[in-house]
Structure 1
Amino acid sequence: MQTVWSISSRGIAISALALSLAACQSMRGPEPVVSTNTPESYASYGNASGTSIAEQGYKDFFADQRLLEVIDLAIANNRDLRTAVLNIQKAQQQYQISENNRLPTIGIAGSTTRQVSPSQNPNNPYSTYQVGIPQTTYELDFWGRVASLKDAALDSYLATQSSRDATQISLISQVTQAWLNYSFASAQLKLADQTLKAQQDSFNLNKKRFDVGIDSEIPVRQAQISVETARNDVANYKTQIAQAQNLLNLLVGQPVPQNLLPQQQVTRITQQSALSAGLPSDLLNNRPDVKAAEYQLSAAGANIGAAKAQLYPTISLTGSAGYASTDLSNLFKAGNVGWSIGPNISLPIFDWGTRKANVKISETDQKIALANYEKSVQSAFREVNDALATRANIGDRLTAQRRLVEATNTTYKLSNARFRAGIDSYLTVLDAQRSAYSAEQGLLLLQQANLNSQVELYKTLGGGLKANSSDTVTQQASSAQIQAAK
């Protein structure tokens, strides 16, 4: 093995190494200006006073201990969340690879060669043995290409973490709403059972009146229609209960124990009496999907730096060392050692614009990431405002619906009394009974919508990432933020 070394090459190598280790020039350029056109405050129906409910851990926000146990089971076993965690591990290893690319790869290799030389005793073949460190290359990152790739990998890793957090927030909301669906489907089934019993009693009464010749067959058939309608509702709500339980089992990742399911109508979902949305600036910090889009935007900027760096020469240090001998027994003797080290520079002259096209592509990718980030911010504000709009009017709707239930129940009682006294026909009773049943069904739906709106507001504000309010959530800086702080 030849030894290649000179004063000039030594100076070049040492100087290049010192410059590379001292600093590298970032080529990523300025970060784009974000323009989301979002309002400085929520709509007028929003309660911005106080701290956002998203700052509360889900164990402090939700009131029912059974629900909290179901949520904990879901976080531990849900397959979507498990996949998100595995994606984090994958992104972490990819980031480690990008970090390792900044260091030279060192290994060991050995070989033996049996050969014959026509000019040196062609009738006597000989063997050559070699062992040592084969040629390795270390890129001197003058233009920040490797560093930019490392920054992009870091941002992608952080975005994957944020996506996992967004999955958890969505999961908690889905589990809670499925749990409420089970509760209110059970309440609707109870109401349908009660209505079916009342309709059956009316049918029996009308049939007796028909049998003794007091009324015609028409009231009997009208009562039968109501009975079959109620019986159909009973079967429908039994189906809804089974479907709600199946959804819960899927979200939790295992069968939910029966003792954790609500056995009666849930009347309260949270321990909070006032649901504050906080300030709009809190939303950008609390929503992990917005943070994920921000990290992706930063990664796009880092990729621009890597693409621009490829426009400049690539400077590397190459070297090798080892032993070589034609006699295996003398392989490791001092006279058989050889090594080489020196700089290497490469720059494609004619690539027909490929590298410049890559820069254009990375710049377009950044514009796409910017648009996605702006849309994620706008979507977050829209979701919060929608939830606040529901909260602003749900109280009036509930009050009106309760009064409607009282009115229809009173009308039903009066109509039934007049029918039994022979003053009105059964058709009046039938209409009043249907109105009362429909009003009570509507009240249950509104009560469920009220609880769902509380869950939805908590989710859209970014609540559910913390288990307890005292827990802290640390947002790591993106590579763009780190670059700006330098």
Structure 2
Amino acid sequence: MKKMRALTATSLALVLAACNMAPKYVRPDLPVAPAIPAGPGEGVAQTAGQGPVVSADTAWKDFFTDPRLARVIRTALDNNRDLRIALANVEQARAQYRVQRADLLPTAAASGRATYQDQPFAQGVGGAASGRTDVYTASVGVSAWEIDLFGRVRNLTRAAQERYFASVENRNAAQTALIAETATAWLTMAADQERLRIARELEKAFGQTLRLTQARFDKGVASELEVRQAQTSYDAARSDIASAITLVAQDRNALELLAGTMLPEEDLPADLPADDVTLTALPADLPSTLLLRRPDIAAAEHQLKGANANIGAARAAFFPSISLTAALGTMSLGLSDLFKSGSDFWSVAPSASVPIFDFGRNQGNLRYARAAYDAMVATYEKSVQTGFREVADALARRSTMTAQLEAQTSLRDAARKSYQLSDARFRAGVDDFLTTLDAQRTLYSAEQALVSTRLARASNMVELYRAIGGGLT
């Protein structure tokens, strides 16, 4: 056993002293501007006086401030099937890495064998005239262990490790996307609930106008044209109600698909909350290096590192491959004598293989590895550029959102006042019905547009949080 331990220690020393044929990895320069532009508008959220600041380290539980939405997101993280698939992919990659890593060290195995022979004219044990020979062996050894002098196995192991790391980041990206999709679906349902409420309120107003116009027509004051116009507005509102009810039902189905289970009524939105459902304060400046925190970009870099390691493995194939088979054990002609003194034996069988003619196989593998690395560089840079654009787009939208919301709110308020005045003048007989009808339609359109703007503002903050990487805890 001492000889076996000495042999193993010597082999490990050779491995540790071996060279690495992989190129030194250098992260590519970010192919984007040093800082992410804040956007063309003014009033981008600053740090002063606006509460907690959103950063890449902000946990989703701190970012989403509405308790109902937070509970729905927690349910989705616990039950979403796509996230379970991503987690299973991580476990597969981890298992493959462990399998590849095992090649770095010798695999020891114990074996025992009994051989029975009966040959003519052979002398048996003790000189007896018998042709039978019984041989018993027991040994421990390693078989065809590659001594990794040029780093082939180590680089293959590194590549498997980087694939595992990439799968972890892909799982994190799936979780970030799930959080954003769930929040957006919840907000969409809230907005459709708001639109349904507005449609019902307007149906009520149009119904009152229709009844008033019908009464005026019966008295000969209004024309049949006015009655028909009032009827069309009332029916349009009824149609919008039916459409909004359908949308709300579909929104719930989409939300429960993301959540992976049925959701309780108390966690579903009844309208679009007046207060923000997320943090809204942003840092004044966002450097481009922040993009390196995004899981998809981190995954692309791990894939790039794995491709770099594959070049080392392809280079090592040009050099000799040395393997070792060794055994240490005991042998006897009788089972009772198997472990007696003097029955031990050992064997060491190193072998080397040197490529001479492979008809371009190794060269082709090396070219393939280099081309794969070049492709992964382009993939990594494209991921950075995509992330840069997503954050810049979200900031550009954010920079004008406050002004748009203020303008849309003012427009809605003006349309409501205009409708109230025109309705009063119509009832007093000052204005004709067409003025009131036009004011009703303008108010309805303004109400719907305001809901869309409020939804866009809330969804924009969710998208910005996803684009900068978000927190996972």
Question: What TM-score, normalized to structure 2?
Answer: 0.88
Query: Is residue 165 from structure 1 mapped to residue 210 from structure 2 by the alignment?
Result: no
CA contact (8 A) 1:277 1:461 kept: no
Q: Distance in 1 between matches of 2:147 and 2:233?
A: 84
216, 227, 245: which one aligns with 1:220? 227
**Structure 2, unaligned stretches of length 5 or more?**
48-52, 124-129
CA contact (8 A) 1:152 1:298 kept: yes
1:138-176 per-residue CA deviation (whole Å, 9 max, x = no partner) reads: 221110111111211221121111112212211111111
**Stretch of structure 1 that moved more, 254-263 or 16-25:** 16-25
Q: How do 1:150-299 residues align onto structure 2 when only pairs under 5 Å count?
A: 150-270=157-277, 272-276=279-283, 278-299=285-306
Question: What SS does the corresponding residue of 1:31 show, helix, strand or coil?
Answer: coil
404, 417, 422: which one aligns with 1:415? 422
Change (3 A) 1:410 1:259: same
Q: How do 1:62-141 residues align onto structure 2 when only pairs under 5 Å count?
A: 62-113=64-115, 115=117, 117=119, 128-133=135-140, 136-141=143-148
Q: Distance in 2 between matches of 1:345 and 1:16?
A: 17
Question: What SS does the corresponding residue of 1:248 show, helix, strand or coil?
Answer: helix
CA contact (8 A) 1:402 1:443 kept: yes
Aligned to 1:478: none
Change (3 A) 1:401 1:231: same
1:344-401 per-residue CA deviation (whole Å, 9 max, x = no partner) reads: 1112322111111111111111111101110111111100110011011111211221
In the TM superposition, residue 462 of structure 1 has moved relative to its aligned partner by 1.4
Q: Distance in 2 between matches of 1:394 and 1:348?
A: 66
In the TM superposition, residue 135 of structure 1 has moved relative to its aligned partner by 5.5
CA contact (8 A) 1:52 1:277 kept: no
Aligned to 1:483: none
Q: Distance in 2 between matches of 1:48 and 1:439?
A: 26
Q: Distance in 2 between matches of 1:135 and 1:96?
A: 19
In the TM superposition, residue 220 of structure 1 has moved relative to its aligned partner by 2.0
Change (3 A) 1:61 1:352: same
Q: Distance in 1 between matches of 2:294 and 2:231?
A: 54
1:305-355 per-residue CA deviation (whole Å, 9 max, x = no partner) reads: 111111100112211234445544544444554321132111232211111
Question: What SS does the corresponding residue of 2:282 show, helix, strand or coil?
Answer: coil
Aligned to 1:455: 462
User: Equivalent pairs: percent with the same residue?
Assistant: 40
The one-letter code sitting in structure 1 at the alignment partner of 2:75 is L
Query: Is residue 17 from structure 1 mapped to residue 11 from structure 2 by the alignment?
Result: yes
In the TM superposition, residue 86 of structure 1 has moved relative to its aligned partner by 2.2
Question: What SS does the corresponding residue of 1:357 show, helix, strand or coil?
Answer: helix
Q: How do 1:359-370 residues align onto structure 2 when only pairs under 5 Å count?
A: 359-370=366-377
CA contact (8 A) 1:168 1:464 kept: no
Aligned to 1:401: 408
The one-letter code sitting in structure 2 at the alignment partner of 1:255 is M
Q: Distance in 1 between matches of 2:46 and 2:378?
A: 31
Question: What SS does the corresponding residue of 1:101 show, helix, strand or coil?
Answer: helix
Q: Distance in 1 between matches of 2:8 and 2:94?
A: 33
In the TM superposition, residue 124 of structure 1 has moved relative to its aligned partner by 5.4
Change (3 A) 1:255 1:33: closer
1:44-78 per-residue CA deviation (whole Å, 9 max, x = no partner) reads: 53869766522322222222122222222222222
CA contact (8 A) 2:319 2:355 kept: no
**Stretch of structure 1 that moved more, 40-49 or 234-243:** 40-49
Q: What is the aligned-residue RMSD (CA, Å)?
A: 2.8
In the TM superposition, residue 98 of structure 1 has moved relative to its aligned partner by 2.3
Q: Distance in 2 between matches of 1:385 and 1:313?
A: 52
Question: What SS does the corresponding residue of 1:256 show, helix, strand or coil?
Answer: coil
Q: Distance in 1 between matches of 2:412 and 2:291?
A: 42
Change (3 A) 1:446 1:36: same
**Stretch of structure 1 that moved more, 433-442 or 47-56:** 47-56
- How many residue pairs align between the two structures? 457
The one-letter code sitting in structure 2 at the alignment partner of 1:413 is Q
Question: What SS does the corresponding residue of 1:132 show, helix, strand or coil?
Answer: strand
Q: How do 1:40-51 residues align onto structure 2 when only pairs under 5 Å count?
A: 40-45=34-39
Q: Distance in 1 between matches of 2:330 and 2:12?
A: 29
Q: Distance in 2 between matches of 1:301 and 1:18?
A: 25
The one-letter code sitting in structure 2 at the alignment partner of 1:70 is V
Aligned to 1:31: 25
1:221-272 per-residue CA deviation (whole Å, 9 max, x = no partner) reads: 2222112211111111112211222222122221122112223321233564
CA contact (8 A) 1:48 1:278 kept: no
CA contact (8 A) 1:52 1:282 kept: no
Change (3 A) 1:446 1:134: same
**Structure 1, unaligned stretches of length 5 or more?**
6-10, 468-486
Q: Distance in 2 between matches of 1:411 and 1:18?
A: 87
In the TM superposition, residue 41 of structure 1 has moved relative to its aligned partner by 1.5
The one-letter code sitting in structure 2 at the alignment partner of 1:110 is G
CA contact (8 A) 1:105 1:137 kept: no
Question: What SS does the corresponding residue of 1:215 show, helix, strand or coil?
Answer: coil
Aligned to 1:58: 60
Q: Distance in 1 between matches of 2:38 and 2:70?
A: 33
Q: Distance in 1 between matches of 2:140 and 2:13?
A: 25
Question: What TM-score, normalized to structure 1?
Answer: 0.86
374, 387, 397: which one aligns with 1:380? 387
Q: Distance in 2 between matches of 1:404 and 1:413?
A: 14
Change (3 A) 1:25 1:417: same
CA contact (8 A) 1:42 1:48 kept: no
